[in-house]
Structure 1
Amino acid sequence: MVLKKIDFRLVGGFLLAHLLLYFTFQDKKIFWYIFPACLLLLTIWTILLEDVDDRISFIRYITAGILSGLLLYGLFYFGNAMIHFFHLPLGDNIGRLYKWFSPRQSWQYIALVLIAVPGEEIFWRGFIQKRLLRHSSAFWSIVVSAAMYASVHIYSTEMILVFAAFISGIVWGVLFAWKRSIPLVIVSHLVFDLLLFILAPLY
């Protein structure tokens, strides 16, 4: 993929995301105070600079969102089962991630549903990937945006979280490139997170 010219809005948004997520991961005790605020800022950035895509009907994006969220969770469930089956040390990392970053209080779950999940999809798919699509093929927009999404998770110091972000970024990137619907990827992300954090945690 070769960009025809530098997209300063894309680069600026990406650098802003790195700056905000760097501070977000610095203190695990206040993670849930900073994380929603950062996603709110990135959402505002996107709304000011980009239109939000919604190219399919309500029924179609709800259905596809629920099914894709379930399938992505199933993929993570299988991966987690393999980690424990082969007694890989990554199992301890997963436990630490839940301890450090899982929402625990009611307001944190509300922030997850109303701010964090929509904010991530609006910014990473609705801004970053959408702008990449203007300069590259759908394939490269998916791969590069997923890598960019994963890169901001390096500040967690847990490579398994970086890898998980890349895999989920690929899935949501495919969905966005396929249907160009932000509500679709928000529903998928929301179903995935509700299963991961509330209904069937992987620990």
Structure 2
Amino acid sequence: MNNKNYKYLTFTLFAAAILWYLMFVIKPFNFWIEMSVSILLLILMAYFANRDIFSLGKVKIRYILIGVVSAIALYGIFYAGNIISGYLFPFKDAQISSVYSNKSNANLALIGLLLFFIIGPGEELYWRGFIQNTLGKKFGENKGYLFSVLLYAAVHIVTGNFMLVIAALVCGLFWGWLYKKEKSLIPVIISHAVWDLTIFVLLPLM
């Protein structure tokens, strides 16, 4: 990664932080529409730097199974984490509720469609397909993975929601590892999409 590409990657990260701040703090309009538009903007910026970002390869049954099973596993981690964190952080319920309160801005069908087809897949294209992949080429696979995890969590700091930052850290570790292991975005995209749909629409934790 040359210096020009590094500066561009940094620019997109600043853009992501601003977009996350607008979404979670300012909330100028519908949260789910804003998140979808924000993700699409980040993908577009990533595409300008890497035209191969949409070259996902062949969809294999194995990838589908890994995606679904890993989503279930991650949901289990969050289910247990929700219980444990209740004993550790007295503010847990209030902060998680503030995220779920955004569901009142749209009907569940629309939220589910946006999560499954735009938000989940889009986040993986940007964070793993662009950020982790680019950093991996610069610093090596393992360091690129760790740096991308930290950046993914760091962007959520602007929300002022500690539980959301922890959630991003866990998700970043999980999906980043899955991408590093499988060398394909397909199972990670499926995992993220299924997990999003489950934890926000089908089986919310609150």
Question: Is TM-score (shorter-chain normalized) higher than 0.5?
Answer: yes
Displacement after TM superposition at 1:16 (Å): 2.0
Q: Which residue of 2 aligns with 1:16?
A: 15
Scaled by the length of structure 2, the TM-score of the pair is: 0.86
Q: How does 1:103-182 map to 2 (within 5 A)?
A: 104-105=106-107, 106-182=109-185
**1:39-50 to 2 correspondences below 5 Å:** 39-50=39-50
Q: TM-score w.r.t. structure 1 length?
A: 0.88
Instruction: Please give the secondary structure, in 2, of the residue aligned with 1:26.
Output: helix
In 2, distance between residues paired with 1:196 and 1:185?
16
Cα displacement (A) at 1:136: 1.6
Residue aligned with 2:25, SS? coil
Q: Is the 8 A contact 1:61 1:183 kept in 2?
A: yes
Give the letter aligned to residue 15 of structure 2.
Answer: L
Q: For 2:104 and 2:138, how far apart are their aligned partners in 1?
A: 36
The aligned residue for residue 59 of structure 1 is: 61
* CA spacing shift, 1:44–1:87, aligned 2, 3 Å: closer
In structure 2, C-alpha distance between the alignment counterparts of 1:175 and 1:141, rounded to whole Å: 14
What is the percentage of aligned positions where both structures have the same residue? Answer: 34
CA-to-partner distance for each residue in 1:174-195, whole Å, 9 max, x for gaps? Answer: 1111122122111010121122
- C-alpha spacing 1:64/1:98, structure 2 compared with 1 (3 Å): same
> C-alpha displacement at 1:173, in angstroms?
0.5
User: Could you tell me which amino acid in structure 1 is paired with residue 24 of structure 2?
Assistant: F
Structure 1 gaps of 5+ residues are none
- Alpha-carbon RMSD across the aligned residues, in angstroms, is 2.2
Call closer, same or farther: CA 1:101–1:165 in 2, change over 3 Å.
Answer: farther
Which residue does 2:190 correspond to in 1? Answer: 187
The one-character-per-residue Cα deviations of 1:66-95 (angstroms, maximum 9, x if unpaired) are 1111111111111112234x3741133222
Q: Report if aligned partners of 1:126, 1:182 keep a CA contact under 8 Å in 2.
A: yes
Match of 1:77 in 2: 79
Opposite residue 184 of structure 2, the aligned amino acid is S
Gaps of 5+ in 2: none
How many Å apart are 1:58 and its aligned residue?
A: 1.8
